[in-house]
Structure 1
Amino acid sequence: MGAVILAAGRSSRMGQGVNKVYREILGKPVLTHSIDTFLGSGIVDEMVLVFNEEEEDLLEEKVLGALDRDLSDIIVRRIPGGKKRQDSSRAGVRASETDYVCIHDGARPNFSSDLIVKLLDATVEHGAAFPGVKPVDTIRANNQGYAGATIDRDRHVKVQTPQCFRKDLHLNAINEAVETGRYFTDDAGIVMELGGVRPRVVEGERSNVKITTALDTRLIEVLISS
């Protein structure tokens, strides 16, 4: 399996103009935590790091230099990212030479190796899989500032990454998306809409929080510490 980690984004909501994947949590960059988890799963043959070319020094010195695990047993590819997440995802998957790919947001540092194994098992059987967690809050439609219908929480999940796919299936779908100018918020949506496959939903982890704001960073520190 190839792990494709997306780290080329900008952190406009974090402020200070610093890519959040290079911010440190408990002495290690956010991105380093994600890479270590993939390596710890024991099922990754290849690592594709999709990064911003202007930040290559940070990737090499700060991130890879802080790893707890050895990269010598797997293939590591460094690929420049695109303008949008979808472009970066496509570039990373195209660079992979594995039959299965697991695409992950570099800003999600707190997920488990067990989750990766469960996702790959589901992907081998179904062609695509992603982690999802049921919302705990009441969800209600907002109709121009007025309350609308209440959404059935039991029929909805909050979508996370890693998201795993058979490589050929994902690549065919994302190529069509880019060529037709259609953009999606995640890879599972691309495969579902354009690949003709309904991804399997694997139970996600509530601690698998995506860092979007400074508050998320503090929450992740607590979660990893515990």
Structure 2
Amino acid sequence: MSIRKLKKKVFSLLIQNNFTGGLEAIRRYPPRQVVNPLFSFILSGDELVKWRAVTAMGAVVADLAANEMESARVVMRRFIWNLNDESGGIGWGSPEAMGEIMARHHGLAAEYAKIIVSYIQPDGNFIEHELLQRGVLWGLGRLARARPRLVDGAAGFLRPYLESDDPTLRGLAAWTAGAIGDESTAPLLQRLLNDETTVNIFLAGRLVACPVSHLAKEALKSG
């Protein structure tokens, strides 16, 4: 199958109503073949396509790592490079994909969890772009929900996001704080219990509109 035909096929599988079946079909292709099409769809301005591509990338790269760990590392390094200032790009979708991959594969998570944490560390590889910060928080939260021990200590860097003027950052930070489960964030989460601003967040395979207060309340239950 030509690259162009494969890309069209992957796209059709991403947008079909039965995405569970679409994802299964994508995973039947050799992982290295579908990685590049998925890279392009992660950049999509269509939120449904973007998030389904993130989900598929996580599954495909985890499958790849099961048999070709070094090839999976190459994919992870590509995401990291995309987030590097020297790349000349912006790295849309890269932190989300990294988080999804690490949530699905322990070996890759053990190697790269510190990298995604470093994106919120002022003395680390801090990401300054606010829209990218949203992706970093989602990726960190996704990883934390699957493997909280690997991001132990990351809660200490969430304060600026929990106090952000951007409601989406506040909501994502609350969701991530709940995943990490560190009691140190409780006072900041308490302040968000009256924040009724609604934000969109990708949860359990779909985009959900949630008040920040709800995310904070759920996070406090987890802490």
Q: Normalization by structure 1: what TM-score?
A: 0.27
Q: More strand per residue: 1 or 2? A: 1
Structure with larger RCO (C-alpha < 8 A, sep 6+): 1
Specify which structure has the higher proportion of helix: 2
